[in-house]
Amino acid sequence: MKKVYLINAEYEECTYDKPKIDLVMPRTALHYITDGYGYFNGIKLGKGDFFCAVENQKVCYYPDRKIMWKYYYFDLSGDDIGEIIDKYGFLNDNAYGKFNFLEEIKELKKLFKIYDRKNIQNEAFLNNLALTLLSLHNDYLNKCANLTFTSMRVKKIKEYMERNFNKKITVEDISKSFFLSRAYFRNIFFKSEGISPKKYLQKLRMEKAAELLENTDYKVSEISVSVGYDDQLAFSKAFKGYFGVSPVSYRTKNNLIR
């Protein structure tokens, strides 16, 4: 379970004395605009837009002085918040965008306020609220097919796979890490890369294994573990299926060439 928690939920109707927020954020806050206009990092946003002010990032936002915005905002915290926000792309061009889940936003606020009034200390509940909030963005993206965001998401997923293929991770693990259903994950990845995420993960592992067989004296069992396989037999079978020869034969052949 990802360590991210919903720690506050509010609705605000900005007034003329609302100060400009121009600082390094002490926390991460997602804002959902229900009316009016305002500016986030120089971009004019209005009804139906959201923006994310990220912890430890410099931001500037304020309401339009003629038609001031109204919004719900949710503060998030947790050890994994930076990683999660990065996966969503909220650090860069996608720190703002459209949303269409206002009723769900209202319900989440109600749930948090009920919890808050009872003064209960339940990290699992706050974690579930935060993950529900983030999953609403996935649901919306699934419906609206935002190609720019999808391309960015696939890029982030590929970077994650390239950093972690040496660990015992599965496609299911990766899809859960990015809050995606396995079917949707496979669909956007295949459309972008022309290869399934399972085959791409295998490609990373097999090519690294071949490199190690060619350039090191590591045992096959050691190479197996270093590319994410606990079972040497399963690794050897996968390697032969990919290259047409066993790891031992591959090493012998390439040693002879040198």
Q: Say if residue 12 is in the same domain as residue 49.
A: yes
Q: Say if residue 91 is in the same domain as residue 165.
A: no
Q: Say if residue 54 is in the same domain as residue 120.
A: yes
We report the CATH number of the domain holding residue 210 as 1.10.10.60
Half-sphere exposure of 251 (CA within 13 A, CB side): 15
Q: Which of 144, 162, 185 is the last residue of a domain?
A: 144
Q: Say if residue 110 is in the same domain as residue 193.
A: no
Q: How many domains does the chain have?
A: 3
- Model-wide pTM > 0.75: no
We report the CATH number of the domain holding residue 172 as 1.10.10
Q: Say if residue 12 is in the same domain as residue 85.
A: yes
Q: Say if residue 115 is in the same domain as residue 77.
A: yes
We report the CATH number of the domain holding residue 25 as 2.60.120.280
pLDDT along the chain (258 residues), means of 10: 85 93 92 96 93 89 94 91 72 74 94 84 88 79 55 83 90 85 86 91 94 92 93 93 93 66
Q: Say if residue 209 is in the same domain as residue 171.
A: no
Q: Say if residue 35 is in the same domain as residue 57.
A: yes
Burial class (CB in 10 A: 0-12, 13-18, 19+), 240: middle
Q: Say if residue 129 is in the same domain as residue 243.
A: no
pLDDT at 54: 87
Burial class (CB in 10 A: 0-12, 13-18, 19+), 214: middle
What burial letters (b/e) apply to 36-66, b meaning 16+ CB within 10 Å?
Answer: bbbbbeeeebeeebbbbbbbebebebbbeee
pLDDT at 257: 44
pLDDT at 48: 93
Q: Which structural domain, as residue segments, surrounds residue 241?
A: 203-257
Q: Say if residue 127 is in the same domain as residue 183.
A: no
Q: Say if residue 105 is in the same domain as residue 222.
A: no
pLDDT at 258: 43
Q: Say if residue 164 is in the same domain as residue 48.
A: no
pLDDT at 109: 95
- What span, in angstroms and rounded, lies between the C-alpha atoms of 29 and 75? 4
